[in-house]
């Protein structure tokens, strides 16, 4: 099978999906704006051919260059796991008559307002929301939705330009801060715990499922530098905590017309009543190293299993997790370059057999902009069959391992 994979080098986890396709027997043709000279050897070896374009996000230009480059060669699938390119993939499939999701289906996953309209019509509990393009529409939406509310870009990802407003004064500040956003969703703020539901689907049917818990909720973690965010997988999908959300997730994928590939859904359990409320869903793999986290939880390689689903229409790995696994993201104290790591040796002494990964920036490395990347200045992964033990180790890492910069 000849698979055209959009943006095989960026974001960095796309390199693993490229590898996964090659390892299950696909001939992988790549297109992106990363120069070949900057690609690691393993990625170059996974690609059978590669087209470098000026900008991966100039979708019409990419489409034109691709058609000239591919002339005379057949393509069997067009795939991507980077959200900004999902619509391009859909359009190329339609133009070339290839299997896979078309633009209307992908829009249901990409456009948050349309997504919720379709799900609400199907009986799924979604936050009240309204689409806004102007200041007047934003204030009218606030009257309809009520305060507190969440402002987020319709086509956003990763929490960028997403803000909570609890008062009219806060909303005024949010609207000034996001004046560059062309189209947004103003939404009811759901006060509750935030969790996720991930799948690898074949023709819309989940072949592998997983749930995780954010601690704290993702937006809180993105807005407070002092927090070391934790994401933890949950082993038992039949527990009362998540069983109804799994059922809702399957319904969401059915209503929106999911095809073959990864999905990532966020949902809430309200504090007041325990009500289950849908958040949003994407027809691509989760970010924030969550595929790595799921791999550690199950001793599997889901980059390869995603490739197997695309190429062969099945997965072959175990579909149950052996561990609760948690990833803890660390943000250095101070500015500049990393000068010290505090508490890591003691942490490894306490929990060494259960520490699956330590990926912290080395001494001398420049600190990353924590507002631009959830990955921050590195992470640790712990895992344990017992949930309480896994969470305790993650909280220990959050509280007692520190990076310092100056």
Same domain, 76 and 143: no
| Structural contact between residues 14 and 83, judged by C-beta atoms closer than 8 angstroms | no
Kindly report which listed range (45-49, 133-137, 293-297, 400-404) carries the lowest average pLDDT score. 133-137
Burial class (CB in 10 A: 0-12, 13-18, 19+), 191: exposed
The pLDDT value recorded for residue 222 is 87
- The secondary element (H helix, E strand) that includes residue 285 is none
Same domain, 237 and 120: yes
CATH number at 136 reads: 3.30.1490.20
Q: What is the pLDDT of residues 347-384, one digit of tens each?
A: 999 999 999 999 999 999 999 999 888 889 999 999 99
Same domain, 181 and 268: no
Mean pLDDT of the region 2-11: 97
pLDDT for residue 264 is more than 70: yes
CA atoms within 13 A on the CB side of 337: 5
Distance between CA 289 and CA 378 in Å, rounded?
11
Same domain, 209 and 308: yes
Same domain, 284 and 399: no
Q: What is the pLDDT of residues 310-343, one digit of tens each?
A: 999 999 998 889 999 999 999 999 999 999 999 9
Closest CA to 323 of 348, 285, 357: 357
The pLDDT value recorded for residue 127 is 93
Closest CA to 5 of 261, 205, 256, 375: 261
Same domain, 278 and 391: no
Residue that terminates a domain, selected from 99, 117, 145: 99
Same domain, 110 and 137: no
| Max CA separation in the chain (angstroms) | 61
| Structural contact between residues 305 and 224, judged by C-beta atoms closer than 8 angstroms | no
Number of neighbours of residue 27 by Cβ within 10 angstroms: 17
Closest CA to 286 of 30, 87, 82, 20: 82
Mean pLDDT of the chain: 95
The pLDDT value recorded for residue 344 is 98
Cα dihedral: 215, 324, 14, 312 (round 10): -140
Q: Indicate left, alpha or beta for 35 from its phi (over 0: left) and psi (-120 to 50: alpha).
A: beta
pLDDT for residue 227 is more than 90: yes
CATH number at 41 reads: 3.40.50.20
Q: Residue 244, Cα to own-chain centre: how many angstroms?
A: 22
The pLDDT value recorded for residue 372 is 85
Same domain, 211 and 184: no
In sequence order, what E strands does 256-320 have? 261-270, 276-282
The pLDDT value recorded for residue 72 is 86
pLDDT for residue 265 is more than 80: yes
Mean pLDDT of the region 24-42: 97
The pLDDT value recorded for residue 371 is 85
Give percent helix, percent strand, percent coil of the chain, each to the nearest 5: 35, 25, 35
Residue that terminates a domain, selected from 268, 300, 320: 320
CATH number at 253 reads: 3.30.470.20
Same domain, 93 and 203: no
pLDDT for residue 17 is more than 90: yes
Q: What is the pLDDT of residues 152-199, one digit of tens each?
A: 998 766 567 889 999 999 999 999 999 999 999 999 999 999 999 999
Same domain, 342 and 362: yes
The domain of 224 spans 101-125+191-320
Same domain, 111 and 237: yes
Same domain, 113 and 245: yes
| Number of folded domains that form the chain | 4
Q: Which residues are CB-contacts of 143 (< 8 A; sequence separation ≥ 6)?
A: none
Question: ω before 77 within 30° of 0 (cis)?
Answer: no
């Amino acid at each position: 099978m000849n698979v055209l994979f959009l943006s095989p080098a960026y974001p960095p986890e796309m390199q693993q999906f490229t590898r996964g396709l090659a390892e299950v027997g696909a001939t992988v043709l790549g297109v992106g704006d990363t120069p070949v000279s900057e690609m690691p050897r393993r990625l170059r070896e996974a690609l059978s051919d590669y087209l470098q374009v000026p900008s991966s996000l100039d979708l019409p230009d990419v489409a034109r260059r691709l058609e000239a480059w591919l002339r005379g060669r057949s393509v069997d699938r067009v795939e991507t796991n980077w959200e900004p390119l999902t619509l391009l993939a859909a359009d190329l499939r339609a133009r070339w008559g290839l299997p896979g999701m078309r633009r209307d289906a992908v829009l249901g996953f990409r456009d948050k307002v349309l997504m919720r309209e379709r799900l609400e019509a199907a009986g799924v509990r979604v936050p009240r929301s309204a689409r806004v393009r102007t200041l007047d529409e934003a204030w009218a939406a606030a009257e309809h939705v009520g305060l507190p509310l969440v402002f987020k870009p319709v086509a956003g990802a990763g929490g960028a330009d997403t803000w909570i407003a609890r008062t009219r004064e806060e909303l005024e500040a949010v609207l000034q801060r996001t004046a560059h956003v062309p189209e947004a969703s103003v939404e009811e703020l759901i006060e509750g715990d935030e969790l996720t539901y991930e799948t690898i689907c074949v023709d819309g049917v989940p072949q592998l499922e997983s749930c995780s818990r954010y601690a704290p909720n993702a937006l809180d973690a993105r807005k407070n530098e002092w927090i070391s965010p934790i994401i933890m997988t949950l082993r038992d999908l039949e527990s009362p905590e998540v069983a109804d959300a799994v059922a809702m997730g399957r319904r969401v994928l059915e209503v929106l017309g999911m095809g073959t590939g990864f999905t990532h859904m966020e949902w809430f359990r309200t504090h007041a009543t325990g009500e289950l409320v849908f958040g949003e869903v994407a027809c691509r793999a989760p970010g924030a190293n969550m595929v790595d986290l799921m791999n550690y939880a199950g001793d599997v390689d889901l980059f390869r299993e995603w490739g197997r689903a695309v190429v062969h229409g099945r997965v072959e790995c175990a579909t149950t997790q052996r561990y609760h696994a948690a990833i803890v993201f660390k943000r250095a104290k101070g500015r500049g370059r990393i000068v010290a790591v505090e508490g890591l040796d003691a942490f490894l002494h306490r929990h060494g057999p259960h520490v699956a990964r330590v990926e912290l920036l080395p001494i001398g490395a420049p600190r990353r902009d924590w507002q631009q990347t959830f990955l921050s200045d590195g992470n640790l992964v712990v895992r344990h069959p017992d949930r309480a033990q896994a969470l305790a180790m993650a909280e220990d890492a959050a509280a007692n391992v520190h990076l310092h910069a100056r």
